[in-house]
Structure 1
Amino acid sequence: MTDSDELVDEDGLRGFLTDRLGGGDAFEFERHDEGFSNETVFVSWGDHDLVLRRPPPGETAETAHDVVREYTVMEALQETEVPVPRTVGVCRNRDVMGCEFYTMERLYGDVVRFSEPDRFADPETRREVAEEVVETLASIHGTDVEDVGLGDFGNPQGFTRRQVERWTEQIEWAFDTTTDERNVPALREVGDWLEDNAPDDHAGGLVHGDYKFDNLIFEPDAPRIAGVLDWEMSALGDPLCDLGWLLFFWRDEGDDESKITRTMLPQFTKKEGYPSRDEVVGMYEEASGMTVENARFYRVLAAYKMCALGEMFYARYLMGNSDSSFYAMMEEGVPLLADNALSMTEET
C-alpha cells in the first residue's frame, strides 16, 4: 500500500508551505485512502488544516492525473457562486517533491459515498439534497468563463466526440496490460456505437468532468454543498456530459443490480424522497435553462468512461502500482459494466 512517506518529501513540502504560509510549529501529514485517482494527503501546518493533492506514484496514462489543471479551475472559481475550497498554492517544479502538486484548505462536513448520513434520512431532506446537487451543477455550467479567466481552458466545439476518442485511447492504454488477463469485447462495441452516435453540435460551458455525490462535501449542519472537489478532468465542453455522469451514479428503484454493481455504485438514491433519473433531468432543465436531448447517449458515454477508469485502475493493479481491492475488483467489474452499457445502446 502507498503510504504518506512515499507521497511527501518532507523537506520539500516544508519549504513550499513556509514560502506561502510562513513558519509552522506543527507539521504532520497523513494519506487519505478513500480516493481512486489523484492522491490526497491531509496536512497540519501550524494552525492550518490543509489538503495536498498529487498524482499517484508509478506509470499513468499520459493525460490522467492533471493536478495543475485541477488547481487552475478552483483558483478561478474562488469568488463565484460555485462552492470550492480556498486554494493555497501550486507547485509546478517537480524537483520539490518529484511531481507537480497543490495545496488547499481542508473542508469539514459529510462526503456521501455509499450511504447517506442520518441527518439526510427523511424524504424532505433528501429532496433538498437532490435540489442542491442539481442546482450546483447548473451553477458550474452557468459560469461566465471569460469573466473568471477560463476563456482559454479548452475548446467546447467537438468536445463530446473528443471525449469518445479520449476514453478509447485510455482504454487502449490499459488494454496493453489487462488483455493478458482477460478480454472485454463489449467495450469495443460500445466505443463503436458512441463514435457513430456522438453529437456534432452541442452547448458549451465549464464542465467538471467527475460530478457525483462523493466529490461533494456537504456542510455539517445543513443539506448545502460546502465544496465541489476533484476538478482534474474539468474543461470547457458539453455540459450534458456532466449530467450523464451524475445520472450513471443515480440509481432508480427498478434498476437491476448485480452483486458487483451494488458494491461499485451507491444505492441510497433509491430511497423515498430522492427523485428518479427522469426527474433529475427535469430539475436540471429548470435550473440551467437547457433542454436535454438524447440522454441515453450521455448515460452510455458515462458508462464507457467508468469502464475506461476501471480498466486503468486494473492496469495499475497489475503493474504493481496499487494493491487496492477496488482496483482488483475491476477484473470482473469492467466486463459487467461494459455489458450493461452495451444493453443501453440497444434500448428503444
Structure 2
Amino acid sequence: MPEILSRAALPQSLMPCHAIATEGTPMQPSSTVDPAVVDKDAPSPEWIADLSRRLPTEPEIERVLTRKLERRLDGPFTWPTFPEIETGLHSLMSAELGSRFHGVNHTKWLSGGASKVQVYFELSWTDDAGNAALTPMVLRMDPAASIQETSRRREFELLRAFRGIVPVPEVYWLDDMADHLPYPALVSGFVPGVTKPTGGSKSVSGLKATIDSDLRKSLGTQFIQHLAAIHNHNVDDPELRSFQRPDGVREVLKFQINAWDRVWQEDSDFDVPMVRLALAWLRDNVPDVDRLSVVHADYRTGNYLFTEDDARITAILDWEGGHVGDRHEDLAYTMNRMFGSDDEAGRFLVSGLMPEEQFLQEYSEAAGLPVVPQSLQFWKIFNCVKTVIISLATAYRISATRKTHQDVLVAWITGTEGVLLEELRLNLEEVF
C-alpha cells in the first residue's frame, strides 16, 4: 500500500489550499477566521464556532460534528481490550437492569463495518418476561473517528421507530455520551443471516454486489417493499425525538447540503473546484418535495441480512445516516453503479437485484409515490458529492491521523477518488 504523506511532507505545489477550501460556497457567509492559521488536526474553538455559524444544520448533527473536531486532539484510535469492553458493558447493564443483570459472556469481534466497532456478546439476565435468559447481543460502538460521523442516539431512535414495520434488530440500550463504554455506543439484538450469498461476490463492503439469479426475485421484492414502508413512515413519529428540523421543506434539504459542506471544510486538505461547483449547484437547485420521508441514506445490498435457505430479509442494517428528507435521495443512492453489477445478459442490476427501470416502477407501485426525474438527478449529484467527500477528505484524514479501527479498508477507500470524481463530472455535465 502506498505511504500516506503527511501535510508536512507535501511538495509546495501540493500544499493544502486552505484559503479556498474554507471559504464556503456561494450564498454562504464568509469565514471570520483567517484560513492561513487553521490547523484542521487541532481545530480552535473559534474555527469550530465559525463553521457552526456559516453552515447551520440540525442540532444533533451539529453536536456530532462539533464533537468530532473537539476529539481530534485525543490521539490515534487504540483498540479497547475485551476486559475494558466487558467492564463498560457491566457498568451499562448494571445501570439499566439493576439486579436483573447477571453477567456478560463470550465476547468476540464481529467482522464488517467500515464505520463502527462491533462486538458480539451473550447477556446473562432476567428478561422482560421475568425469565432467566442468555441472549446473543451486539455492541455497536464508535471508533475515534469514522468515515461518516453520526449519532448513536438517532440510530437508536430509528431502530425503535421501525420495529414491526420493517425487519430491524431489536435495540436495547444506549450510551451515546460514552458514560460507560470507551466511545459512544448502543446495544442491539443479534440477528442471523448473511449480507451476500456464500458463493457470491468477494467485493469490499457491498460494492459491485452480485446476487444469485435464483435469489433476485424474492430478495428484490422484499427490498422494494421495505424501502416503500420506510418512505411512507410518519416523520413526526414520537420515537424520533432528536430529529429536530426547521420550518419549511426546502430548509430541511438545505441543512443536508450544509452538513456535507461542513464536513468537506473540516476534513479536506486540497481544493477541488468540481466539489465547490457541485455544492454551489446544489444550493441553487434544491427541488420541490411533495412530502418529507424518513431517508435511510445507505440502503443497498450489503446493508441487509438475509437467510439463504428461505431468501428472507431478516434485518435492515446501518441506519446511522438516517434523517428526514426527500425519498429520491435513497432512490438515487441505491441506483449508484458502485453498489450493483451486470447480469448474464450485460444489463446493470440495481444492488445486484433488478434493472433500473423495473426498480423504479416497482418502487412507485409499492410506495404509491411518483418518481420525479429532476429530483432523482439532483440527488444523484448530491450522493456523488457525498461519496467524494468521504473518499477524498474524511477517509484520507482519519487514515493519516490513525483515528480509525479499519485503517486498511479506509485507506483503500481513498483510492476510489478518481472513479468517484469522474461519476460526479458525468452527472454535472448532464445539468450544465
Could you tell me the TM-score, scaled by structure 1's length?
Answer: 0.81
How far apart in 2 are the matches of 1:299 and 1:173? 23
Overall identity of the aligned pairs, in %: 22
Per-residue deviation, residues 27-76 of structure 1 (Å, max 9, x unmatched): 23233342111222222233221111121125x69x82311110111122
Please give the alpha-carbon distance, in whole angstroms, between the structure 2 residues aligned to 1:87 and 1:66. 15
Match 1:48 to one of 109, 112, 135: 135
Pairing partner for 1:251 from 340, 350, 370: 340
Higher Rg: 2
Native 8 Å contact 1:204 1:236 kept in 2: yes
Q: Does 1:134 align with 2:227?
A: no
1:73-106 CA-to-partner distances (Å, cap 9, x unmatched) read: 112222x321111112112453312433210111
**Residues 158, 239 of structure 2: 8 Å contact kept:** no
Change (3 A) 1:33 1:57: farther
Is the 8 Å Cα contact of residues 7 and 57 (structure 1) preserved in structure 2? no
Q: Which runs of 5+ in 2 are unaligned?
A: 1-76, 125-133, 197-205
Tell me the CA shift for residue 24 of structure 1: 4.0
Q: Which residue is 2:170 aligned to?
A: 86
Mark the runs of 5 or more structure 1 residues left unpaired by the alignment.
Answer: 255-266
- Give the alignment partner of residue 315 of structure 2, picking from 227, 241, 244: 227
- Does the CA-based 8 Å contact 1:209-1:233 persist in structure 2? yes
Q: CA deviation at 1:347?
A: 2.5
CA contact (8 A) 2:381 2:424 kept: yes
Residue among 158, 176, 190 paired with 1:73:
158
**Contact 2:193-2:307 at 8 Å conserved across structures:** yes
SS in 1 for 2:180: helix
1:27 aligns with 2:105: yes
Distance 1:285 1:151, change over 3 A: farther
Q: Aligned match of 1:167 in 239, 242, 260?
A: 260
Computed over aligned residues only, the root mean square deviation of the Cα atoms, in angstroms, reads 2.9
Amino acid across the alignment from 1:169: R
Distance 1:83 1:192 in 2: 38
For 1:334, the equivalent position in structure 2 comes to 417
Q: Given residue 396 of structure 2, which amino acid in structure 1 is its aligned partner?
A: Y
Please point out which of 187, 192, 214 is paired with 1:103.
187
Compare 25-34 and 143-152 and name the one that shifted more: 143-152
Give the SS at the match of 1:292: coil
Pairwise CA distance, 1:223 = 2.3
Secondary structure of the corresponding residue to residue 118 of structure 2? strand
Rounded to whole Å, the distance in 2 between the matches of 1:186 and 1:7 is: 47
Q: Aligned partners of 1:340, 1:282: CA distance in 2, in Å? A: 24
Is the counterpart of residue 185 in structure 1 residue 185 in structure 2? no
Amino acid of the structure 1 residue aligned with 2:112:
E
Residue 317, structure 1, aligned to residue 399, structure 2: yes
8 Å Cα contact 1:54/1:100 also seen in 2: yes
Change (3 A) 1:149 1:320: closer
1:275-332 Cα deviation digits (max 9, x unpaired): 2123211111111111111222222212221122223122100112136223212433
Match 2:381 to one of 296, 300, 311: 300
1:138 is displaced (CA, Å) by 0.6
The answer for the alignment partner of 1:259 in structure 2 is: none
Rounded Cα–Cα distance in structure 2 between residues aligned with 1:48 and 1:334: 42
Deviations 1:192-225 (A, max 9, x none): 2322322144421212122121211113432222
Name the amino acid aligned to 1:222: D
Mean Cα deviation higher: 14-23 or 101-110:
14-23
* Higher mean displacement: 41-50 or 92-101: 92-101
Aligned residue pairs total 323
In the aligned structure 1, how far is the partner of 2:325 from the partner of 2:398? Answer: 28
Q: Which moved more, 1:23-32 or 1:43-52?
A: 23-32
2-structure distance, mates of 1:30, 1:321 = 22
Partner Cα separation in structure 2 for residue 287 and residue 140 of structure 1: 11
Q: Is the 8 A contact 1:37 1:65 kept in 2?
A: no
Cα offset, 1:3, TM superposition: 3.3
Partner SS state of residue 143, structure 2: coil
**Please, which of 212, 222, 225 is the counterpart of residue 121 of structure 1?**
212
Per-residue deviation at 1:13? 1.1
CA distance in structure 1 between the partners assigned to 2:241 and 2:144 by the alignment:
32
